[in-house]
Structure 1
Amino acid sequence: MNLIWLIQQSNIEKKMEEAPDSAYGIGVVIGSYLPFVVLAGIAYAIYYYNKKKRGSE
């Protein structure tokens, strides 16, 4: 997990240095973290669904 974070962090820093303006930098940050947030949301939804299903048996 740390390896993924280090690779992602270096890519973000490189893109921020090459950014034409601050709006681009905000887009880079959102685009970099959004996939992880979506995956965490899906994982929680699956967990909640299974927890609710198990409780009704």
Structure 2
Amino acid sequence: MRSLIIFLQQVNVEQKLKDAPDGQYQIGVLIGSFVPFIVLVGIAYALYYRAKKKEKN
């Protein structure tokens, strides 16, 4: 499963930053590369919180 996630997230950020037309594009590329990770962490936290809440009841 881990290799699938790594394969899906393989983006050559260094090349995109090198070919960036300006600084705002670079910031967008960096933010865009972190968004999938942040979304996955949010989903994992929500599932964990929900499971703990269910366990208490």
The reply to whether TM is greater than 0.5 is yes
Question: What is the Cα-based RMSD across aligned positions, in Å?
Answer: 1.7
Which one has the bigger helix percentage? 1
Runs of 5+ in structure 1 lacking a partner? none
| Runs ≥4 residues deviating over 2 A | none
1:8-36, Cα deviation, whole Å (9 max, x unpaired): 4xx11000000000000000011111011
Matched pairs, number: 52
Runs of 5+ in structure 2 lacking a partner? none
TM-score by length of 1: 0.80
Identity of aligned residues (%): 55
CA distance in 1, matches of 2:54, 2:30: 36
TM-score by length of 2: 0.80
